[in-house]
A and B are shown apart, each in its own frame.
Chain A
Amino acid sequence: MARVEERRSTGLEAWRARFESLRLREGEAFTSISGAEVEPLATPETVEIDYGRDLGYPGAFPFTRGVYPSMYRGRLWTMRQFAGFGTAEETNARFRYLLEHGQTGLSCAFDMPALMGVDSDSPRAVGEVGREGVAVASLEDMRVLFAGIPLGEVSTSMTINSSAAIALAMYLVVGEEQGVARERLRGTIQTDILKEYIAQKEFIFPPGPSLRLVTDMVEFCAAEMPLWHPISISGYHIREAGSTAAQELAFTLKNGFTYVEWALARGLDVDSFAPRLSFFFNAHLDFFEEIAKYRAARRIWARELRDRYGARDERSLLMRFHTQTAGVSLTWQQPLVNVARTAIEALAAVLGGTQSLHTNSYDEALALPTEDAVRLALRTQQVIAHETGVVNTIDPLGGSYHVEALTNRLEAEAYELFHRIDELGGMVAAIEQNMPQREIADAAYRYQQEVEAEQRVVVGVNRYQTETDDEIPILRIDPELERKQIERLHAFKARRDSAAVERRIAELSEAASVDGRNLMPVIVDAVSDGVTLGEICDAWRTVWGTWREQPVF
């Protein structure tokens, strides 16, 4: 044995000597897209692999190789294209189109007014209604949004955070109106407020009351909506804001631990809610680094849930995640090239063992996607699933020296960041001190400088440019839709029992000012009586105040 080892390392040294004597390409950096140094070669000597401790088997601790024993042989990932624009009618039509073309789950994008807790008829909403997602202000909008879609059969993901509790209450009521009991509703709501302060910046209330709302949802779902995922802990937006892969991994997991700690402080048993926590990651262009990120994420989550938070139910240890290809990697120039980028990113997500996937459309650097562009993006997933054969073997890159080394590196970097956040007093304190925001801004700036120095080539942007970009059709949102939405909202408000509305608003304010009272049942009653999303948020603004960040750049 000793002789073999010796020969191996002699071989490594000989290779290294030859490698270092050779002339290498100059100009482009040999670093990952995150700016991390990358070894030119990984060998058994350069990576420590303890198979039993670090990898194990799919469906078994530490779940590095996948959360299920059968992975894609048992069931493919859910193909879930994010959609939402205009009024509820337009988005309802897009949902039906996607279901007809083989999509297997719904994913709803809300417009900025809904995300920011203002009604479509607010002066703050002018010009923004239905632009970046679907306009939803009232229960009536939610009814139209899911009209003709059997909520007992589909699973729905809703991307909404500050005002998530209200959207969940509306969905629950619409489900019950369709005759589907709340315990049968399946889906996910994002609810991840911490990453809003860190990256996406659609916050309304200060962190304390926001985390109380999140915890109310976790508690409510654990008791009444057992098939629902009350939080999708999201690295996606952290990455889009410019973070590195390691920062995406670390901030996301730390946010997850923070939600766990709030729920434990509420007195919940970890195994009563942890199995329903889900995750959402970015799939960026640095292929191996991304795959390693997903593998490291599973391993860290399982270990911390078991060893730090005392989870006993194996389902609590499983990090199940949705992935979306990197919007930020799409270029405005030569947009058709985005088809290639998205396919590569989607492949990384699949090789990383994702449970659900959204592939971006090639036109999304320019506008919300057209129907044809969305279909092509969905077809990209179907090609990976059915034509490439990559689904036949579980974690096919497991054991690759390079991928294992990257997995170990990302894990170590994540623990370093956890430690720094703990030293600041935890994630909320770190956010208040702008630590994650500053780290991300620095990483984004460094990347931009690398692109401008041409150390990093972006095809069509700083190399291989063409005189004119390909002309592609883009989706235009009819400005008339804003007027139509406001009319529907006014008609809805006129029909309500105004005394009941006032009573419900008073209840919402009172419940918000009492710690320890779960707000979810109060919200369900309020939306049932016609209180709108903006009215609910206004009531809470009065009680809780609003959050303003001190921006750093």
Chain B
Amino acid sequence: MERTIRVVIAKPGLDGHDRGAKIIARSLRDAGMEVIYTGLHQTPEQIVETAIQEDADAVGISILSGAHMTLVPRIVEGLRENEAGDVLVVVGGTIPAEDAEELRRLGVAEVFTPGASTSAIVDFLRGALAPA
């Protein structure tokens, strides 16, 4: 039997825009994944802790506040420092192309920008987390 994919959907920083995060959380759940939504106003450290405690396969970070270049690297680094560098990190939000490139260079698996379909996100996670 196929293992159920576990995903933490996280809202870092002071940003309160949660429409996208909730839609993604529900879409992943409807696609059969186990979803843990952190709720709002999380620090990068709290998100790392949740990902580890929940034994997540992936963390989906939703951010629309423009603070992505500060907050996302802290989550990626925090996971590595806690020997959880294998947790797949994906980001969704208003991320300019050059920032997306930089985030991928830092270890983010994929960056989804406005208009991305939920099915594309589901497919990406399934593909990236498929057993080798």
Contact = CB atoms under 8 A, between A and B. Distances in A.
Interface of A: 112-113, 115-116, 118, 124-128, 131-132, 196, 200-202, 240-242, 328, 331-333, 365-368, 441, 444-445, 448, 451-452, 458, 461-462, 474, 476-477, 548-553
B70 A201 contact: no
Given A367-B96, A445-B23, A112 B114 contact: no
Contacts, number: 101
Q: Which of B22, B23, B35, B65 has the most C-beta atoms of chain A within 10 angstroms of its own C-beta? A: B22
Contacts of A131: 65-67
SS of B interface (majority): loop
A461 B115 contact: yes
A450 to B, nearest CB: 12
Contact of A127 (B29, B71, B94, B114): B71
Q: Which of B35, B66, B70 has the most C-beta atoms of chain A within 10 angstroms of its own C-beta? A: B66
Contact of A128 (B25, B65, B96, B114): B65
A452 B117 contact: yes
Contacts of B14: 112-113, 115-116, 118, 124-125, 128, 202
A549 B40 contact: yes
B39 A551 contact: yes
Q: Which of B26, B115, B118 has the most C-beta atoms of chain A within 10 angstroms of its own C-beta? A: B115
Interface in B69-127: 69-71, 94, 96, 113-115, 117-119
Contacts of A126: 70
A548 B39 contact: yes
A112 B113 contact: no
Nearest to B25: A553
A550 B16 CA distance: 14
Going nearest first, the 7 A-B pairs with the smallest beta carbon separation are A127-B70, A201-B16, A131-B66, A112-B14, A553-B22, A127-B67, A332-B114
26 contacts: A112-B13, A112-B67, A116-B41, A125-B14, A127-B67, A127-B70, A127-B71, A131-B66, A201-B17, A202-B16, A241-B18, A242-B23, A332-B113, A332-B115, A365-B94, A366-B94, A367-B96, A444-B23, A461-B115, A477-B66, A551-B22, A551-B39, A552-B22, A553-B21, A553-B23, A553-B35
A367 B13 contact: no
A441 B119 CA distance: 18
A200 B16 contact: yes
B23 A132 contact: no
A333 B65 CA distance: 19
A112 B19 contact: no
Contacts of B13: 112, 124, 127-128
A553 B26 contact: yes
Interface residues of B, number: 34
A112 B65 contact: yes
A549 B40 CA distance: 8
Contacts of B113: 332
Interface string B36-67: 01011101000000000000000000000111
A331 B71 contact: no
Contacts of A474: 96
B34 interface: no
Nearest to A553: B22
B34 to A, nearest CB: 13
A250 B101 CA distance: 43
A551 B96 CA distance: 28
Given A126-B70, A474-B96, A551-B37, A452 B119 contact: yes
A177 B17 CA distance: 36
A448 B29 CA distance: 15
Given A127-B67, A365-B94, A549-B40, 6 more contacts: A112-B14, A241-B18, A441-B26, A444-B23, A552-B22, A553-B37
Contacts of A444: 19, 22-23
B106 to A, nearest CB: 14
Contacts of B17: 201
Contacts of A200: 16
A441 B66 contact: no
Interface string B2-33: 00000000000111111101110111010000
A132 B66 contact: yes
A448 B118 contact: yes
A368 B66 CA distance: 9
A168 B21 CA distance: 32
A328 B26 CA distance: 19
Q: Which of A115, A201, A444 has the most C-beta atoms of chain B within 10 angstroms of its own C-beta? A: A201
A274 to B, nearest CB: 29
Nearest to A331: B115
Nearest to A451: B117
Nearest to B21: A553
Contacts of B70: 126-128
A31 B115 CA distance: 21
